[in-house]
Amino acid sequence: MFIEPHIRGEKKGWIEVICGSMFSGKTEELIRRLKRAKIANLKVEIFKPAIDIRYDENNVVSHDANSIQSTPIENSQTILLMAQEVDVIGIDEAQFFDDQITDVCEKLALQGIRVIVAGLDMDYQGKPFGQMPNLLSIADYITKLHAICVICGNIANISYRKTAQDGQVLLGEKDIYEPRCRSCCQKGPDAPREI
């Protein structure tokens, strides 16, 4: 006789991905979900890429200055080593991780862990960013958040880079990026503000 895993008392894991442009509230939503898990007395571990030191070297911090303690790591395999006896894993800025992050998340979910991943789904050119497309394809739940375009006030889905620097990875905040919609990205740096 087959018995469902949840009836036998086994934990069932899954993968949640929170994506969108900069300033859309991805990290804020990640922090909210992780804090709720902590309130429920679940064991939570949070990881972020070591290169992201914009607000804090250790903590995950949103643009609104909300924060949660995290562990900065150099590569995604480290998560597997550090994820012992946990119920929930949070991963911020997943687009910066290596190509093993998708396999790591899959392994964690198979171990019965709830995995919550946040990251930019597109870069400043509107192209898929890092491993985010792969994470989105294996996710059980996806939340796509939008910012507000600073030019026209419509929903923004692209992190427009205000500088001429090339390269997909350029850490920055409002000094380098602003949220724009698809059409306002085409208007360039001298786009007239409609709002």
Q: Each residue of 54-84: pLDDT tens digit? A: 555 555 544 554 556 678 888 999 999 988 8
CA distances from 85 to 3, 33, 63, 81, 170 (A): 24, 19, 31, 11, 35
Residue 164 in domain: no
Residue 108 in domain: yes
Residue 158 in domain: no
Q: pTM for the complete prediction?
A: 0.83
Domain count, the chain: 1
Residue 8 in domain: no
Task: Please report, as a single letter, which amino acid is at residue 108.
Answer: L
Task: State yes or no: is 45 an active-site residue.
Answer: no
Which sign, positive or negative, has the C-alpha torsion 82, 54, 26, 94? negative
The yes-or-no verdict on residue 147 having pLDDT over 70 is yes
Query: What is the share, in percent, of the chain residues with pLDDT greater than 70?
Result: 78
Residue 70 in domain: yes
The CATH code of the domain that includes 113 is 3.40.50.300
Residue 163 in domain: no
Residue 82 in domain: yes
Q: So what's the pLDDT on residue 133?
A: 96
Catalytic residue among 45, 93, 173, 178: 93
Lowest mean pLDDT among 41-55, 60-74, 88-102: 60-74
Range of the domain at 24: 14-145
CB 81 within 8 A of CB 111: no
